[in-house]
Structure 1
């Protein structure tokens, strides 16, 4: 599914079940030494996907450790993103000479819990979702918005190393499967150019929502 949302220069691997007998590097195992079973499965399969994606690019296997805010530390010259939810794990990787930042997210295709939408959206976004729900009530637009915002943050952070709150990006969802994020906080890309807008893609299938952004290198 995820490869439908990203350009050919991005290496994509996804899993709908947790492969048995996956072995982590000792350094990776240390990260989850005290984790509960669910967290261990998510982490292990997410790292398995990431290693597979890197291998497809010809990059030798090496531990993927965590940096600030738990973000994976990718090999020099690469950028990537990992996501997981119930029944789905995925990782995407690209060379930074082609893609300067990547963000992906996966969510169940179901409504957000009560109260969450108000916490993660702006008034204009809620009005926009109401319009979308009127024309397509079978789609959980609130969860799509949430997933897109998670993807925006994952794209923003590797470039700026700064937090981006839910209220600091104003999103517009397009029914054909794209979205636009207007960034309301100052930031710059790897060349120093201002970050003002991201464009991404979303899809719904297999009871899942998948969202992705690939910010091209300039």
Structure 2
């Protein structure tokens, strides 16, 4: 699913399983989750199994994927990437830094956001663009959940370049569908905080399939030349 949202020079791997046979962790990864509950361990391990699968097409040997501040994955030199996990889906996307400056992916269950969360995520301008976002109307798309996922992908793209946090209300998103029946499309994110490392607008893609909504954002190294 994630692979449909990203270009061919991004290596993707995903699973819908809660645990996988190749989900064996490196000792230094084990240290990070030594006291975690089973669900957290499974999410952590399957996401890293996906990451190591995605390393192979890039000619990389399997390595541990640790994390830095705010859980940012730490990749081998010359590699950028992103991880995501939710109930029913785990995925990784990796690329060479010479081809991709930064990228972010996210997956969520395709269902309305929990009560009260939408007020924290959806800006008034965004709410005006789609009626009753938590109702699931508008072609069967839960727009509030899609918005949440898209902002997660935006933030995962932003953070490695700036090492600063971007709040949910600091990105204003507009969604585009292929047609009224489409369950996929694109989006634009207008950033309301500026940073010289990131363009003022980021472009992304989205798709809803088999109960999962997935989003992705990709930024090329030559964005300042465009």
Shorter-chain TM-score above 0.5: yes
Q: Identify the residue that residue 186 of structure 1 maps to in structure 2.
A: 194
Q: Identify the residue that residue 154 of structure 2 maps to in structure 1.
A: 152
Q: Identify the residue that residue 57 of structure 2 maps to in structure 1.
A: 56
> Gaps (5+ residues) in structure 2?
179-184
If the length of structure 1 is used for normalisation, what is the TM-score?
0.94
The correspondence for 1:203, drawn from 182, 200, 207, is 207
**Are the equivalent residues in 2 in contact too, given 1:109–1:209 (CA < 8 A)?**
yes
**Are the equivalent residues in 2 in contact too, given 1:159–1:188 (CA < 8 A)?**
no
If the length of structure 2 is used for normalisation, what is the TM-score?
0.91
> Gaps (5+ residues) in structure 1?
none
Distance in 1 between the 2:31 and 2:137 partners?
49
CA deviation digits over 1:154-181, x for unaligned, max 9? 0000110000000100000112310000
Secondary structure of 2:66's counterpart equals coil
**Are the equivalent residues in 2 in contact too, given 1:129–1:142 (CA < 8 A)?**
no
RMSD of Structure 2 on Structure 1 (CA) = 1.6
Distance in 2 between the 1:110 and 1:142 partners?
9
Q: Point out 4+ residue stretches in structure 1 off by more than 2 angstroms.
A: 131-135
Distance in 1 between the 2:176 and 2:209 partners?
17
Secondary structure of 1:14's counterpart equals strand
